[in-house]
Every structure is written in structure tokens, then in C-alpha cells.
């Protein structure tokens, strides 16, 4: 029985890409009736077993165990997030980047960061709000997040991001207008995801009626065509778990006097002292404090 991967789900059909034959078309399949009875609903990203039927279609007979299950977008077995942030238009938003990193850490995803619109840097030079990218790249790389400086417009850095997607199922996330679709279009010849100026998209979310689909890359990687969590999503972690989502805190947190230390005002908190000694970035630590406050405020409200 052939095995494959669901790359698209639409109107009761599942489109299964056979595992064995690279480059072949996906097979249009129905799911076996028993799934409904067992309360299983196959998801895009699921590894399945299927049988070919006489009309050239197929039947999904088994859904193999999932390693993960994202809700937004609804995709199984995602193992990597690509956080997309523009250097300008909209301006680089590092607090939001840190918030997205909390999301991806709590979801257990590997994460890479793509900074976009590099071509806008020159124009910025000399201006007060110009970003100095060197320290930013150095900081996030030192924490363990590969960071790429790209321009879809000028084809810079696109291949480097593409190479990191090989053999994995990835989801892109980032604010509206940062260039997620443009970056994907630059990686996939022939793909033409809709790209637009921000102003045209402020109405209804354009993704609400769309069905998620996995885009196949030449290197075997798969990418969801619908972005992941957004800036409007609440952090799903508890206050006690937040510090664990800041990877670089971990070795210091082990040395805090109290177990469950929130690294706030506790005595003998090694995370606080590491921050004072410059071993932990002040901007990351301040964003940590900000998120901690948000989590507590939310709890109070409900």
C-alpha cells in the first residue's frame, strides 16, 4: 500500500503526494468512512497510507501518527517556522519578533528568521530611524536562530532561506505587508501568490475563505501557503513557562535560588544578574517582562 502526504484538502477530497515518486502529481483521494466514526479527520501535512481505486483516484486508509498539530494554519507535522520581518515598511518590530519566538518555542518548532526588504536599507541610511542590522543579526544568531537578510525584489538571500526549507514542513509567519508572499514567490518559479500594498488589505482578512495548501519546493521542502499565528494571537503560555521560551535564559535559570523563579524581583535570581552583567540582552529581557505583564493582565481579566 503506497504512503504519501496530504498537500491539500478541499470539498471532501484529500490530495496525496506519493512518497516514492518525486515530481509526480498528487492523487485525489476520499477518506475511508471509518475515520468519521473514529473521530479522526485527516489534515494537510498528514502522512497517510492510501489505495488506488479504479477511476484513478484513491482512498486514504490510514493516518500515521502526527508529530505536531498546528491550529493556525491547520497543518499536521509542521516542524519549522520562518518568521518574516521587514527591515522597513513596516519598520522592524523586535518586540513582536520576540513574541513570535515565544509562540514558536511553546509550539516546539525550530525557527529561522528572514529579514526582508534589504533593498530599502540604503535609502534609510543617515536617517534617525535607520536600523543597525549587525547587532540584531548577531544577537539572534547567538541565541540559536539562523537569521537571513533578504530582498525578494533584488533576489538577495532568497536561496539561503530556501536551502533551510529542504526536507521539512515549514510555516511562514509575520505581520501583513512584510513580504511573506513575495519571498515565497521568489523561491518558487511559477508560483504567483497574491502580493499587495498594505493599504489594499486592511479590510477582511484575505485568508479567511482560503484553504490551506502545502507548496512543494524543488528541494523537497513543503511550505504552507497560509501564514501562521498573527500579532493578534494571545500568548498561550503560563507565566511560569514564559522564561523557558527565552532559550538563552535557560542555563542561568537553572542557577536561580528558587525553582519557578519568574526572574522578576526574586533574591538570587541568576537571570536578572546575567542581564545586569550584559550576558543576556536588555531588549530581550525587557520584552520578557512586558509579556509576563500581559499574561498576568489577561489572567486577571478572565
Within 224-283, the residues that bind ligand GTP by CB under 6 A are 227
Beta bridge partners of 112: 82
One residue of 119, 233, 266, 294 binding ligand GTP per CB under 6 A? 119
56 or 203, CB closer to ligand GTP? Answer: 203
> What is the dihedral sign for C-alpha 298, 96, 288, 223?
positive
State yes or no: cis peptide before 90, omega within 30 of 0. Answer: yes
199-258 binders of Zn ion (CB under 5 A): 256
Contact residue for ligand GTP among 8, 99, 103, 117 (CB under 6 A): 117
- Contact between 107 and Zn ion per CB under 5 A: no
* Least distance between Zn ion and beta carbon 255 (Å): 8
Interatomic CA distance for residues 211 and 43, integer angstroms: 11
By CB under 6 A, is residue 153 in contact with ligand GTP?
Answer: yes
Contact 111, 117 (CB under 8 A): no
Separation of alpha carbons 241 and 107, rounded Å: 12
Is the Cβ–Cβ distance between 290 and 283 less than 8 Å? no
196 near ligand GTP, judged by CB under 6 A: yes
**Interface with ligand GTP, residue 59, by CB under 6 A:** no
- Window contacting ligand GTP (CB under 6 A); options: 62-70, 100-108, 147-155, 240-248: 147-155
Q: How far apart are CA 201 and CA 148, in angstroms?
A: 26
**Residue ranges binding ligand GTP (CB under 6 A):** 116-117, 119-120, 151-153, 174, 176-182, 195-197, 201, 227
Amino acid at each position: 500500500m503506497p504512503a504519501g502526504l496530504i498537500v491539500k484538502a478541499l470539498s471532501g477530497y484529500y490530495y496525496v503526494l506519493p512518497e516514492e515518486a518525486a515530481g509526480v502529481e498528487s492523487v485525489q483521494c476520499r477518506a475511508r468512512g471509518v475515520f468519521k466514526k473514529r473521530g479522526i479527520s485527516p489534515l494537510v501535512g498528514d502522512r497517510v497510507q492510501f489505495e488506488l481505486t479504479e477511476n484513478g483516484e484513491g482512498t486514504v486508509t490510514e493516518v500515521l501518527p502526527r508529530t505536531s498539530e498546528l491550529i493556525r494554519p491547520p497543518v499536521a507535522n509542521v516542524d519549522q517556522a520562518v518568521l518574516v520581518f521587514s527591515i522597513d515598511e513596516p519598520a522592524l518590530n523586535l518586540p513582536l519578533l520576540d513574541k513570535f519566538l515565544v509562540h514558536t518555542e511553546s509550539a516546539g518548532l525550530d525557527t529561522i528568521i528572514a529579514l526582508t526588504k534589504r533593498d530599502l536599507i540604503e535609502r534609510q541610511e543617515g536617517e534617525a530611524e535607520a536600523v543597525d542590522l549587525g547587532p540584531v543579526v548577531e544577537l539572534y544568531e547567538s541565541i540559536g536562530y539562523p537569521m537571513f537578510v533578504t530582498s525578494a525584489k533584488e533576489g538577495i538571500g532568497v536561496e539561503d532561506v530556501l536551502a533551510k526549507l529542504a526536507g521539512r514542513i515549514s510555516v511562514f509567519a509575520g505581520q501583513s505587508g512584510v513580504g511573506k508572499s513575495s519571498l515565497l514567490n521568489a523561491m518558487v518559479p511559477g508560483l504567483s501568490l497574491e502580493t499587495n500594498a498594505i493599504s489594499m488589505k486592511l479590510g477582511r482578512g484575505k485568508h479567511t475563505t482560503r484553504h490551506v495548501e502545502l507548496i512543494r519546493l524543488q528541494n523537497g521542502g513543503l511550505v504552507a501557503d497560509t501564514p501562521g499565528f498573527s500579532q493578534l494571537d494571545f500568548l498561550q503560555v503560563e507565566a511560569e513557562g514564559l522564561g523557558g521560551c527565552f532559550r538563552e535564559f535557560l542555563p542561568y535559570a537553572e542557577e536561580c535560588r528558587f525553582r519557578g523563579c519568574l526572574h522578576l524581583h526574586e533574591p538570587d535570581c541568576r537571570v536578572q544578574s546575567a542581564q545586569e552583567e550584559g550576558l543576556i540582552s536588555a531588549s530581550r529581557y525587557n520584552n520578557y517582562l512586558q509579556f509576563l505583564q500581559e499574561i498576568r493582565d489577561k489572567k486577571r481579566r478572565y
